[in-house]
Amino acid sequence: MQNNYILLDGKIVSEHLKKSFSERISKLKRKGILPGLAVILIGDDPASQVYVRNKERDFIKLGLNSRVFKFDKKAKKEDILSLIDHLNKNDEYHGILVQLPLPEGIDEFEIVSAISPDKDADGLHPYNIGTMTTGRECPFPCTPHGILKILEFYNIDPAGKHVAIVGRSNIVGKPLAILLMQKRNMGNATVTVCHSRTENLKEITRTADILVAAIGKPEFIKREHIKDGVVIIDVGINRVEDKLSNKGYRLTGDVDFNDVLDKVSAITPVPGGVGLMTRTMLIHNTLYLAEKKAGLI
Ligand code: GUN
Protein backbone atom coordinates (compact mmCIF):
# COMPACT_ATOMS: atom_id res chain seq x y z
CA MET A 1 0.00 0.00 0.00
CA GLN A 2 1.38 3.41 -0.93
CA ASN A 3 0.32 6.81 0.30
CA ASN A 4 1.17 10.35 -0.73
CA TYR A 5 3.86 11.21 1.73
CA ILE A 6 6.35 14.09 1.56
CA LEU A 7 10.02 13.16 1.52
CA LEU A 8 11.74 15.72 3.74
CA ASP A 9 14.85 16.14 1.61
CA GLY A 10 17.90 17.38 3.53
CA LYS A 11 19.71 18.11 0.28
CA ILE A 12 17.06 20.57 -0.92
CA VAL A 13 16.93 22.35 2.45
CA SER A 14 20.75 22.46 2.63
CA GLU A 15 21.06 23.94 -0.86
CA HIS A 16 18.42 26.53 0.04
CA LEU A 17 20.33 27.57 3.17
CA LYS A 18 23.69 27.58 1.41
CA LYS A 19 22.43 30.30 -0.96
CA SER A 20 22.16 32.66 2.02
CA PHE A 21 25.57 31.48 3.24
CA SER A 22 27.24 32.75 0.05
CA GLU A 23 26.07 36.30 0.77
CA ARG A 24 27.22 36.07 4.39
CA ILE A 25 30.64 34.74 3.32
CA SER A 26 31.07 37.56 0.77
CA LYS A 27 30.24 40.15 3.42
CA LEU A 28 32.84 38.68 5.79
CA LYS A 29 35.45 38.44 3.03
CA ARG A 30 34.86 42.10 2.13
CA LYS A 31 35.91 42.88 5.70
CA GLY A 32 39.06 40.79 5.19
CA ILE A 33 37.72 37.85 7.21
CA LEU A 34 38.02 34.26 6.02
CA PRO A 35 35.75 32.17 8.28
CA GLY A 36 37.65 29.18 9.65
CA LEU A 37 36.86 25.97 11.51
CA ALA A 38 39.28 23.78 13.46
CA VAL A 39 38.15 20.17 13.84
CA ILE A 40 39.74 17.91 16.43
CA LEU A 41 39.49 14.18 15.74
CA ILE A 42 40.65 11.80 18.44
CA GLY A 43 40.97 8.07 17.74
CA ASP A 44 40.07 6.00 14.70
CA ASP A 45 36.28 5.55 14.77
CA PRO A 46 35.41 4.89 11.09
CA ALA A 47 32.10 6.82 11.15
CA SER A 48 33.79 9.83 12.77
CA GLN A 49 36.48 9.77 10.10
CA VAL A 50 33.80 9.93 7.38
CA TYR A 51 31.92 12.76 9.14
CA VAL A 52 35.10 14.80 9.55
CA ARG A 53 36.10 14.30 5.91
CA ASN A 54 32.64 15.41 4.77
CA LYS A 55 32.72 18.49 6.98
CA GLU A 56 36.12 19.46 5.59
CA ARG A 57 34.83 18.97 2.04
CA ASP A 58 31.81 21.23 2.73
CA PHE A 59 34.06 24.03 3.98
CA ILE A 60 36.50 23.77 1.08
CA LYS A 61 33.61 23.83 -1.41
CA LEU A 62 32.41 27.16 0.00
CA GLY A 63 35.94 28.61 -0.04
CA LEU A 64 36.20 28.56 3.77
CA ASN A 65 39.17 27.72 5.95
CA SER A 66 39.08 24.30 7.58
CA ARG A 67 41.77 22.24 9.26
CA VAL A 68 41.62 18.87 10.96
CA PHE A 69 43.85 18.15 13.97
CA LYS A 70 44.25 14.43 14.66
CA PHE A 71 45.15 12.63 17.86
CA ASP A 72 45.79 8.98 18.56
CA LYS A 73 43.12 7.29 20.70
CA LYS A 74 45.69 7.02 23.49
CA ALA A 75 46.44 10.76 23.38
CA LYS A 76 47.09 12.50 26.69
CA LYS A 77 44.32 14.79 27.90
CA GLU A 78 46.89 17.55 28.56
CA ASP A 79 47.95 17.55 24.88
CA ILE A 80 44.35 17.89 23.69
CA LEU A 81 43.64 20.68 26.20
CA SER A 82 46.83 22.44 25.15
CA LEU A 83 45.76 22.40 21.47
CA ILE A 84 42.30 23.73 22.39
CA ASP A 85 43.93 26.54 24.40
CA HIS A 86 46.11 27.40 21.40
CA LEU A 87 43.11 27.35 19.02
CA ASN A 88 41.04 29.50 21.40
CA LYS A 89 43.68 32.22 20.96
CA ASN A 90 44.23 31.76 17.22
CA ASP A 91 42.33 34.33 15.10
CA GLU A 92 42.40 32.06 12.01
CA TYR A 93 39.68 29.88 13.55
CA HIS A 94 36.24 31.25 14.39
CA GLY A 95 34.91 27.84 15.33
CA ILE A 96 36.34 24.79 17.07
CA LEU A 97 34.71 21.37 17.06
CA VAL A 98 35.72 18.19 18.84
CA GLN A 99 34.31 15.21 16.97
CA LEU A 100 32.25 12.93 19.22
CA PRO A 101 32.16 10.30 20.58
CA LEU A 102 35.53 10.47 22.28
CA PRO A 103 37.58 7.33 22.90
CA GLU A 104 36.98 5.65 26.26
CA GLY A 105 38.77 7.30 29.16
CA ILE A 106 38.58 10.86 27.80
CA ASP A 107 36.05 13.03 29.62
CA GLU A 108 33.77 14.66 27.06
CA PHE A 109 32.52 17.33 29.49
CA GLU A 110 36.05 18.44 30.36
CA ILE A 111 37.18 18.60 26.72
CA VAL A 112 34.09 20.41 25.39
CA SER A 113 34.17 22.84 28.34
CA ALA A 114 37.74 23.84 27.41
CA ILE A 115 36.57 25.34 24.10
CA SER A 116 35.91 29.06 24.36
CA PRO A 117 32.09 29.57 24.26
CA ASP A 118 32.78 32.25 21.60
CA LYS A 119 34.29 29.56 19.35
CA ASP A 120 31.85 26.75 20.12
CA ALA A 121 30.90 25.65 16.58
CA ASP A 122 28.86 22.71 17.88
CA GLY A 123 26.84 24.72 20.40
CA LEU A 124 27.60 22.04 22.97
CA HIS A 125 29.57 24.09 25.52
CA PRO A 126 27.74 24.10 28.87
CA TYR A 127 27.62 27.93 28.75
CA ASN A 128 25.86 27.88 25.39
CA ILE A 129 23.54 25.05 26.41
CA GLY A 130 22.54 27.21 29.39
CA THR A 131 22.16 30.28 27.18
CA MET A 132 19.95 28.36 24.74
CA THR A 133 17.87 26.92 27.59
CA THR A 134 17.08 30.41 28.88
CA GLY A 135 15.84 31.36 25.43
CA ARG A 136 18.74 33.54 24.25
CA GLU A 137 20.58 33.53 20.95
CA CYS A 138 23.83 31.57 20.76
CA PRO A 139 25.20 28.80 18.56
CA PHE A 140 22.63 26.00 18.79
CA PRO A 141 23.61 22.30 18.55
CA CYS A 142 23.76 21.48 14.84
CA THR A 143 21.49 18.43 14.59
CA PRO A 144 18.54 19.86 16.58
CA HIS A 145 18.87 23.19 14.74
CA GLY A 146 18.97 21.34 11.41
CA ILE A 147 15.78 19.49 12.33
CA LEU A 148 14.01 22.82 12.99
CA LYS A 149 15.21 24.08 9.60
CA ILE A 150 13.78 21.02 7.82
CA LEU A 151 10.41 21.48 9.56
CA GLU A 152 10.41 25.21 8.76
CA PHE A 153 11.25 24.68 5.08
CA TYR A 154 8.34 22.24 4.68
CA ASN A 155 5.95 24.48 6.69
CA ILE A 156 5.53 21.94 9.48
CA ASP A 157 5.03 24.18 12.52
CA PRO A 158 5.47 22.26 15.78
CA ALA A 159 3.46 24.88 17.75
CA GLY A 160 0.79 23.14 19.83
CA LYS A 161 1.76 19.73 18.47
CA HIS A 162 2.85 16.70 20.47
CA VAL A 163 6.45 15.89 19.57
CA ALA A 164 7.83 12.61 20.91
CA ILE A 165 11.61 12.41 20.89
CA VAL A 166 13.02 8.92 21.32
CA GLY A 167 16.55 9.37 22.67
CA ARG A 168 17.98 11.63 25.38
CA SER A 169 21.54 12.30 24.22
CA ASN A 170 23.32 15.54 25.00
CA ILE A 171 23.82 16.31 21.31
CA VAL A 172 20.32 15.54 19.97
CA GLY A 173 17.48 14.51 22.31
CA LYS A 174 17.99 16.95 25.18
CA PRO A 175 18.78 20.13 23.19
CA LEU A 176 16.04 19.37 20.64
CA ALA A 177 13.49 19.08 23.46
CA ILE A 178 14.62 22.47 24.78
CA LEU A 179 14.42 24.19 21.39
CA LEU A 180 10.99 22.73 20.58
CA MET A 181 9.49 23.84 23.90
CA GLN A 182 10.79 27.43 23.65
CA LYS A 183 8.45 30.36 23.12
CA ARG A 184 9.94 31.10 19.71
CA ASN A 185 9.56 30.44 16.00
CA MET A 186 9.53 26.65 15.40
CA GLY A 187 8.96 26.11 19.13
CA ASN A 188 5.83 26.03 21.30
CA ALA A 189 5.51 22.25 21.02
CA THR A 190 4.42 19.85 23.73
CA VAL A 191 7.45 17.61 24.03
CA THR A 192 7.85 14.13 25.47
CA VAL A 193 11.35 12.68 25.72
CA CYS A 194 11.38 8.88 25.69
CA HIS A 195 14.39 6.63 26.25
CA SER A 196 15.54 3.10 26.95
CA ARG A 197 13.80 3.07 30.37
CA THR A 198 10.44 4.37 29.12
CA GLU A 199 7.88 1.73 30.06
CA ASN A 200 4.98 2.48 27.74
CA LEU A 201 6.94 3.66 24.71
CA LYS A 202 4.45 2.67 22.02
CA GLU A 203 1.51 4.27 23.84
CA ILE A 204 3.41 7.56 23.96
CA THR A 205 4.84 7.51 20.44
CA ARG A 206 1.42 6.56 19.02
CA THR A 207 0.04 9.89 20.24
CA ALA A 208 2.83 11.91 18.61
CA ASP A 209 2.11 14.29 15.73
CA ILE A 210 5.85 14.49 15.11
CA LEU A 211 8.17 11.61 16.03
CA VAL A 212 11.93 12.10 16.27
CA ALA A 213 14.00 8.91 16.39
CA ALA A 214 17.47 9.48 17.84
CA ILE A 215 18.38 6.27 19.62
CA GLY A 216 21.10 4.75 17.46
CA LYS A 217 19.27 1.44 16.97
CA PRO A 218 18.79 0.41 13.33
CA GLU A 219 15.16 0.31 12.18
CA PHE A 220 13.85 0.32 15.76
CA ILE A 221 10.72 2.36 15.05
CA LYS A 222 8.04 0.25 13.33
CA ARG A 223 4.50 0.93 12.17
CA GLU A 224 3.08 -0.08 15.56
CA HIS A 225 4.90 2.89 17.14
CA ILE A 226 3.09 5.54 15.10
CA LYS A 227 -0.32 6.96 14.30
CA ASP A 228 -1.61 7.69 10.81
CA GLY A 229 -0.38 10.97 9.36
CA VAL A 230 2.65 11.34 11.61
CA VAL A 231 5.72 13.35 10.57
CA ILE A 232 8.89 11.32 11.16
CA ILE A 233 12.36 12.77 11.65
CA ASP A 234 14.96 9.99 11.55
CA VAL A 235 18.25 11.06 13.13
CA GLY A 236 19.87 7.61 13.07
CA ILE A 237 22.77 6.78 10.79
CA ASN A 238 23.56 3.11 11.42
CA ARG A 239 25.88 0.82 9.53
CA VAL A 240 24.36 -2.61 9.05
CA GLU A 241 26.01 -5.54 7.34
CA ASP A 242 25.08 -5.93 3.69
CA LYS A 243 26.98 -8.56 1.74
CA LEU A 244 25.47 -7.29 -1.52
CA SER A 245 27.06 -3.86 -1.11
CA ASN A 246 30.65 -3.19 -2.24
CA LYS A 247 31.46 -1.69 1.14
CA GLY A 248 30.03 -4.70 2.99
CA TYR A 249 27.53 -2.48 4.79
CA ARG A 250 24.65 -0.11 4.11
CA LEU A 251 23.38 2.90 6.03
CA THR A 252 19.99 2.78 7.66
CA GLY A 253 18.11 5.00 10.10
CA ASP A 254 16.48 4.36 13.47
CA VAL A 255 13.16 3.98 11.63
CA ASP A 256 12.09 1.00 9.54
CA PHE A 257 11.41 3.22 6.51
CA ASN A 258 9.52 0.71 4.37
CA ASP A 259 7.43 -0.53 7.29
CA VAL A 260 6.14 2.94 8.25
CA LEU A 261 5.86 4.53 4.82
CA ASP A 262 2.14 4.01 4.17
CA LYS A 263 1.24 5.58 7.53
CA VAL A 264 3.33 8.78 7.45
CA SER A 265 2.51 12.21 6.04
CA ALA A 266 6.21 13.13 5.84
CA ILE A 267 9.54 11.48 6.60
CA THR A 268 13.28 12.17 6.32
CA PRO A 269 15.34 9.64 4.36
CA VAL A 270 18.62 8.08 5.56
CA PRO A 271 20.99 9.02 4.10
CA GLY A 272 19.96 12.39 2.65
CA GLY A 273 17.95 13.76 5.57
CA VAL A 274 19.08 15.00 8.96
CA GLY A 275 22.78 14.13 8.46
CA LEU A 276 23.18 16.71 5.72
CA MET A 277 21.46 19.31 7.88
CA THR A 278 23.91 18.74 10.74
CA ARG A 279 26.77 19.55 8.37
CA THR A 280 24.94 22.60 7.03
CA MET A 281 24.21 24.04 10.47
CA LEU A 282 27.88 23.63 11.36
CA ILE A 283 28.67 26.03 8.52
CA HIS A 284 25.94 28.37 9.79
CA ASN A 285 27.41 28.32 13.31
CA THR A 286 30.94 29.03 12.05
CA LEU A 287 29.66 32.01 10.04
CA TYR A 288 27.57 33.16 13.02
CA LEU A 289 30.64 33.08 15.30
CA ALA A 290 32.72 34.97 12.70
CA GLU A 291 29.94 37.56 12.22
CA LYS A 292 29.63 38.03 15.97
CA LYS A 293 33.38 38.51 16.39
CA ALA A 294 33.38 41.05 13.54
CA GLY A 295 30.48 42.96 15.11
CA LEU A 296 28.23 42.30 12.10
CA ILE A 297 25.43 40.91 14.28
N1 GUN B 1 29.17 13.11 16.28
C2 GUN B 1 27.96 12.88 15.74
N3 GUN B 1 27.31 14.04 15.55
C4 GUN B 1 28.12 15.02 15.97
C5 GUN B 1 28.01 16.44 16.03
O6 GUN B 1 27.01 17.05 15.66
N7 GUN B 1 29.09 17.09 16.53
C8 GUN B 1 30.19 16.45 16.98
N9 GUN B 1 31.19 17.18 17.47
N10 GUN B 1 30.33 15.15 16.93
C11 GUN B 1 29.30 14.44 16.44
Q: What is the pLDDT of residues 124-154, one digit of tens each?
A: 999 999 999 999 999 999 999 999 999 999 9
Report the amino acid identity of residue 42. Answer: I
What is the pLDDT confidence band of residue 251, given thresholds at 50, 70 and 90? Answer: very high
Closest CA to 114 of 82, 68, 73, 72: 82
> Is 97 touching ligand 1 by the criterion CB < 6 Å?
yes
What does pTM read for this prediction? 0.97
Identify whether the C-beta of residue 207 lies closer than 8 Å to the C-beta of residue 161.
no
Ligand 1 centroid – CA 204 distance (Å): 28
Q: Could you tell me which residue, 249 or 1, shows the higher pLDDT?
A: 249
Q: How far apart are CA 97 and CA 124, in angstroms?
A: 9
- What is the position in ligand 1's atom list of the atom closest to the CA of 142? 6
pLDDT at residue 1 is higher than 80? no
Which residue lies with its CA nearest to atom 4 of ligand 1?
A: 100
Determine the distance separating the centroid of ligand 1 and the alpha carbon of 172, expressed in angstroms: 9
| Ligand 1 centroid to residue 210 C-alpha, Å | 23
Which of the residues are catalytic?
Answer: 55, 99, 122
d(CA 291, CA 297): 6
- Mutate which of 108, 109, 112, 278 for ligand 1? The one with the most ligand atoms within 8 Å of its CB, which is 278
Quick one: pLDDT at residue 3?
77
Which of 37, 100, 281 for a ligand 1 pocket mutation test, highest count of atoms within 8 Å of Cβ?
A: 100
Confidence of residue 211 (pLDDT cuts 50, 70, 90): very high
pLDDT value at position 2? 58
CB 255 within 8 A of CB 220: yes
Taking residue 239's Cβ as centre, other Cβ atoms within 10 Å add up to 15
Cα-to-centroid distance, 108 and ligand 1 (Å):
12
Distance CA 225, CA 217 (A): 14
Alpha carbon 270 to its chain centroid, in Å, reads: 14
**CB of 41 sitting under 6 A from ligand 1:** no
**For residue 245, pLDDT beyond 60:** yes
- Rounded to 5 degrees, what angle do the CA atoms 210, 212, 213 make? 145
β 230-234/264-267 pair status: parallel
Residue nearest to atom 1 of ligand 1 (CA): 100
